[in-house]
Amino acid sequence: MYFASDNSAPVHPKIMEGLARANNGYASGYGNDATTRQAQAMIRELFEAPEAAVYFVATGTAANALALASHIAPWQGIYCHPLAHIEEDECGAPEFYAGGAKLVLIDGKDGKMDPANLRHRIENTGNVGVHNIQRGAVSITNVTEAGTVYNLNEIQALTAIAREYKLPVHLDGARFANAMVALGCTPAEMTWKSGIDVVSFGGTKNGCMGVEAVIIFDPAKAWEFELRRKRGGHLCSKNRFLAAQMEAYLTDGLWVRLAKHANAMGSLLATGLEKIESVTFQHPQQANMLFCGWPRAGHELAQAAGSMYYPWPAEYPETGPADEFLTARLVTSWASTPQDVDKFLELIAHTG
């Protein structure tokens, strides 16, 4: 009953096999090797983007911060949701990498930026000469940090506004696969066909050991990214072992299968919880991350039985006295099992 985070799951055996396969004799360092080229080619093909620049880094924070810093100037803003990982969970990495840029928060329901709010804030940025920060980039998170999924129309509503103001759009796809299978679309549809310029394409949360690809559709930004990556200490000498994970991840649709499983476990959990009267959902379940609350007694029982998950600050609507009703974040992963879900549901139902 481990629902604390998808990055607590083990590495999928196929990824481990990929690492072993890559560990074959000498290879040039710093990405100048056959495995890296192969993984890059696979991504270009998957994304139908033959010109895209593709890089591998070990963490999502690195992917996001490097991608954003390569697309804005230090005196520009990054528009994102208040719950965005770049705002809440990276200890200021975007500000650090972008030389002191400002994250401009665009609120909206269920972890999604509201297009009208976005337009309003863009209109009111950089319109008084040098005095305020200038318009920069838009950063969308999908799956959102509320566990919901922007559909293609919602993505396009935001990117259309960005386009109007000639602003680049970044996609934080730490859970790219989970969003994509939820939408039933292609990688290209979820990205450049919907107006995304640069993607953090996550692997770590979906079965890899530690790898995220950064995909830059306009290669004009590639060289700057490479310099920033090196300067940030994110260019691995034995780069083949980042690439090998990605290669295994993308081979034979492994990544899609793992995400489908994780989402299915999320749905199983949600369906079960919805049936329990005392459970209240904070956001709709759409992928592999759920936010819902129930009475304290249920939490105590679940934890006593060894369940792992994080309590969540339900800042927006308080749905009950704090000491009676507590909200949890539940995350399923490729490694979650129906047995675990069922056992967990039983515990909660018991007190519900």
In the window 10-39, what residues touch a second copy (CB under 8 A)? 10-11, 16, 19-20, 23-30
Scanning 2-10, 140-148, 163-171, 279-287 for contacts with a second copy by CB under 8 A, the matching segment is 2-10
Q: How far is the CB of 242 from a second copy (least distance, A)?
A: 8
Closer by beta carbon to a second copy, 41 or else 227: 227
Which of the residues 242 through 301 are near a second copy (CB under 8 A)?
A: none
Which of the residues 210 through 229 are near a second copy (CB under 8 A)?
A: 210, 224, 226-229
Closer by beta carbon to a second copy, 92 or else 219: 92
Most distant pair of Cα atoms in the chain: their distance: 62
Scanning 51-59, 143-151, 179-187, 324-332 for contacts with a second copy by CB under 8 A, the matching segment is 51-59
Give the dihedral of Cα atoms 338, 340, 345, 350; nearest 10 deg. Answer: 140
Which of the residues 84 through 143 are near a second copy (CB under 8 A)?
A: 88-93, 95-103, 124, 129-134
Q: How far is the CB of 189 from a second copy (least distance, A)?
A: 28
Closer by beta carbon to a second copy, 47 or else 241: 241
Q: Which of 184, 233, 317, 321 binds a second copy (CB under 8 A)?
A: 233
Residue type, 221: K
Closer by beta carbon to a second copy, 65 or else 290: 65
Half-sphere exposure for 232 (CA within 13 Å, toward CB)? 26
Q: Which of 236, 290, 292, 331 binds a second copy (CB under 8 A)?
A: 236
Which of the residues 58 through 77 are near a second copy (CB under 8 A)?
A: 58-66, 73-75
Q: How far is the CB of 175 from a second copy (least distance, A)?
A: 13
Which of the residues 308 through 327 are near a second copy (CB under 8 A)?
A: 308, 313, 315
Closer by beta carbon to a second copy, 33 or else 154: 33
> Which residues are registered as beta bridge partners of 170?
139, 198
How far is 316 from 282, CA to CA, in rounded Å? 9
Please tell me what DSSP assigns to residue 7: G
DSSP code per residue over 156-207: HHHHHHHHHTT--EEEEETTHHHHHHHHT--HHHHTGGGT--EEEEE-GGGT
341 scored as a contact of a second copy (CB under 8 A) = no
Closer by beta carbon to a second copy, 75 or else 281: 75
Q: How far is the CB of 125 from a second copy (least distance, A)?
A: 10
Closer by beta carbon to a second copy, 102 or else 154: 102
Q: How far is the CB of 45 from a second copy (least distance, A)?
A: 26
DSSP code per residue over 264-312: HHHHHHHHHHHTSTT-EESS---SSEEEEEEEHHHHHHHHHTT-B-EE-
CA 240 → CA 30, 32, 49, 182, 311, distances in Å?
A: 8, 9, 22, 31, 38
How far is 71 from 66, CA to CA, in rounded Å? 9
Residue 250's φ and ψ, nearest 5 degrees, are -90, -15
Please tell me what DSSP assigns to residue 146: T
Closer by beta carbon to a second copy, 19 or else 183: 19
Residue type, 297: A
How far is 135 from 153, CA to CA, in rounded Å? 23
Q: How far is the CB of 88 from a second copy (least distance, A)?
A: 6
Closer by beta carbon to a second copy, 196 or else 214: 214
Interaction pattern, residues 165-204, with a second copy; x per rule: CB under 8 A: ---------------------------------------x
How far is 136 from 307, CA to CA, in rounded Å? 42
How far is 291 from 145, CA to CA, in rounded Å? 10
Ramachandran region of residue 195, left (φ > 0), alpha (ψ -120 to 50) or beta?
left
Q: Which of 41, 51, 237, 271 binds a second copy (CB under 8 A)?
A: 237
